[in-house]
Structure 1
């Protein structure tokens, strides 16, 4: 039986993708690197350090680990300062409604995000009330596609992976859910999250009714 839900943050609860893009673009321009939306899409769901390595590979550049860490921190500072612009109006359509229904029906809910700024984002959204457990980039050492962040969430909720449904918008996130033995709901295009157990184009379509209808034997 499904007793818990685990949500990624960016692209599922809210969309900070444009803020991330602007921060990376700012850094790339300063370094003289090529960076556009196509490269940015490859950063979906992966850590900050992995992201900067993708950008480096694309530009056939190399830097020592210390410099990489400094640049990743610089990008993060740009991004974090932009988070002050976020408000409780910045949920993706359908996300707040789903979280509210899960609360009403008494399900356990965890956040499973690679972001180290997840707590700040939740505060800006006024969303803490919807989550029993916060799993973020500070909670585990191995990021997606490793399942550690989702396993952290299920363990803290005292649930088994097969008692939880993971919501993800990244290919690496669905891979992580599958690796951990979780049921999965993909948010986004088929070519990216089509390997999830259930897929929606957007969170607006991902109602609790639709989820229960698909996983009817588990409720």
Structure 2
């Protein structure tokens, strides 16, 4: 029986991917590296430092910087990103998510956030949904990023539930893999090709309803 929902943030609850892209693109330009939206798809669902490493490798510059310099570069990107997210309001909830969260709360389901973003609490505050959630997994506490299941296992622990009692919702392939590895029912938001490993796939968040998710998870 499903007792909890564990959500990724970007692409599931809201879409800050554009802000991430603009901030990474700005940093890359300062380093004489060119990235486009297609390349940016590789950065979804992974940590800030992993994203930076991919950008540097993209231009064979991964050995040009010390670890301290990389941390400074990642901080520069995050500072610019934080300026962008000041624009976020409840209107930036993706279609269908407001109703899904309210329905889950009304049914007494636990809810936790499992996002690699360290800005998760700030974004949820701006979306005015933090009171609906029972907790947020702290990305700084993780030993491994997605597709490792750790973040979803910790999400279940926050809710006091076994992973088999939870549903995980993701829009990134690495995230779906993490949910599956955690022994949870996985919901993938996106194309059939990208989400083919998910137990239940929807193209857009407006197709997400609590009734349908629980029905599919109960099969």
Normalised TM-score (structure 1): 0.96
The yes-or-no answer on 1:40 pairing with 2:36 is: no
Displacement after TM superposition at 1:139 (Å): 3.5
Secondary structure, counterpart of 1:184 in structure 2: strand
Q: Deviations over 1:30-69 (max 9, x none)?
A: 1110111011100010000000111111111122211111
Distance change in 2, residues 1:48/1:199 (3 Å): same
Is the Cα contact below 8 Å between 1:135 and 1:149 reproduced in 2? yes
Instruction: State the match for 1:154 in structure 2.
Output: 156
Per-residue CA deviation, residues 81-101 of structure 1 (Å, 9 max, x unaligned), is 111111111100011110010
Partner Cα separation in structure 2 for residue 135 and residue 193 of structure 1: 23
**Is the 1:186–1:199 contact (alpha carbons within 8 Å) kept by the matching residues of 2?**
yes
Partner of 1:61: 61
SS of residue matched to 1:195: coil
Deviations 1:9-29 (A, max 9, x none): 000000000000110011011
For 1:114 and 1:124, the matched residues in 2 are separated by: 18
TM-score norm. by structure 2 comes to 0.96
Question: Is the aligned partner of 1:101 residue 2:65?
Answer: no
In 2, the alpha carbon distance for the partners of 1:94 and 1:28 equals 34
Which residue is 1:79 aligned to? 81
Residue of 204, 210, 213 corresponding to 2:212: 210
- Quote how far apart the aligned CAs of 1:179 are: 1.2
List alignment gaps of at least 5 residues for structure 1: none
Query: Which residue of 2 is the match for residue 17 of structure 1?
Result: 17
- Return 5+ residue gaps in structure 2 as ranges: none
Number of residue pairs aligned between Structure 1 and Structure 2: 217
Give the Cα–Cα distance (whole angstroms) in 1 for the partners of residues 117 and 141 of structure 2: 10
- Provide, for residues 100-125 of structure 1, a one-character-per-residue CA deviation record: whole Å limited to 9, x for no partner: 10001110111101000000000110
- Shift, 1:141, TM fit: 2.9
TM-superposed deviation, 1:216:
3.1
Find the aligned partners of 2:84 and 2:153 in 1 and give their Cα distance.
30
Provide the C-alpha distance between the structure 1 equivalents of 2:182 and 2:155, rounded to a whole number of angstroms: 11
Secondary structure class of the residue paired with 1:92:
coil
Moved >4 Å (runs of 4+): none
1:213 is displaced (CA, Å) by 2.6
Contact 1:6 1:164 in 2 (8 A): yes
- The DSSP-based 3-state class of the residue aligned with 1:192 is coil
Q: Distance in 1 between the 2:21 and 2:14 partners?
A: 15
**Residue range with higher mean Cα deviation, 127-136 or 208-217:** 208-217
